[in-house]
Amino acid sequence: MRNLAIETTLIISISILVYIFEPQASQLLAYYHNAITHFEYWRFISATFCHTNFNHLGLNLIGLLITLGLFIDTFKEVKVLPLLLFNSLFIGLCLFLLEPTVTGYVGLSGVLHGLFSYGVISDIKNKDRWGYLLGTGFVIKIFYEQIFGAQQSTIDLIAAPVLVNAHLYGAIAGLIYYFLLAAINRKRQPKLPLNG
């Protein structure tokens, strides 16, 4: 639990610190496709901590606390920061390679979808009925956004378009991370001696 509190505090602190230095912070840290073509690769990860306005920051930090709270048993056992970094990199690479027309992107919401999908699949693997319920709602949300886009109220609140594909890429990243970690943990388990 102590590690989760430290990681959560660190994510919140970095996000607030970056926000304090806006708009200069985003000029240096936000995902800009053109800047990445000029080898500014840190933007794949640092864009996660940038936000368009205070509402955007607040929504994402509340979303972080809710997501970690919903899956607290999972995230007490699994380190959040490596998952966050993996999700950020995966989302950034997907945007860069698959959507070169997306010129800029900031925010934690894509990563939150990765944390959520990780928590859902973990609950389902542990046969927790809430995992099935939350997973169903999550899949419906992703499909809804892919078909209809984001809610206009959210767009107005954060004063920017919502990049729903970042949510999709984040959800996929969370699943990939879960299965990668499971495979690594299986390989690390000592093999029991066989008796003949």
CA-only gyration radius of the chain, Å:
18
| Residues of the domain holding 60 | 2-185
pLDDT tens digits, one per residue of 157-168: 888 889 999 999
**pLDDT tens-digit map of 94-147:** 999 999 999 999 999 999 999 999 999 999 999 999 999 999 999 999 999 999
Asked whether the predicted pLDDT for residue 19 surpasses 70, the reply is: yes
In a domain, residue 62? The reply is: yes
Inside any domain, residue 196:
no
Q: Is residue 84, in this structure, part of any structural domain at all? A: yes
Q: Facing residues of 32 across strands?
A: 104
Banded pLDDT at 191 (limits 50, 70, 90): low
Residues 160-190 pLDDT 10s: 889 999 999 999 999 999 999 999 888 877 6
pLDDT-derived band of residue 150, with 50, 70 and 90 as boundaries? confident
Q: How far is CA 49 from CA 7, 77, 103, 108, in A?
A: 14, 24, 17, 6
191 falls within a domain: no
Given a contact cutoff of 8 angstroms between Cβ atoms, the answer to whether 92 and 31 are in contact is yes
- Backbone phi, then psi, for 105, in 5-degree steps? -160, 140
Q: What is the pLDDT of residues 70-107, one digit of tens each?
A: 999 999 999 999 999 999 999 999 999 999 999 999 99
Q: Write down the pLDDT at residue 51.
A: 96
Number of H helices, E strands in the chain: 11, 2
In Å, what is the CA distance from 76 to each residue of 4, 57, 93, 119, 156? 6, 24, 28, 11, 35
**What mean pLDDT comes out for the span 36-65?**
96
Looking at the domain assignment, is residue 194 inside a domain? no
List, for residues 22-35, the tens digit of each pLDDT value: 999 999 999 999 99
pLDDT score for 195: 52
CATH number of the domain where residue 103 is located:
1.20.1540.10
Domain assignment present for residue 79? The answer is: yes
Phi/psi at 31 (nearest 5 deg)?
-75, 115
Q: How many CB atoms lie within 10 A of CB 4?
A: 17
Q: Which two tokens stand for residue 66?
A: 């809710």
Angle 15-160-87 (CA atoms, 0-180°, nearest 5)? 45
* pTM score: 0.91
Q: Which residues, other chains included, contact 111 with Cβ-Cβ below 8 Å and sequence gap of 6+?
A: 48, 84, 87, 88, 91, 170
Only one residue has tokens 């919502």, namely: 162
- Is residue 195 domain-resident? no
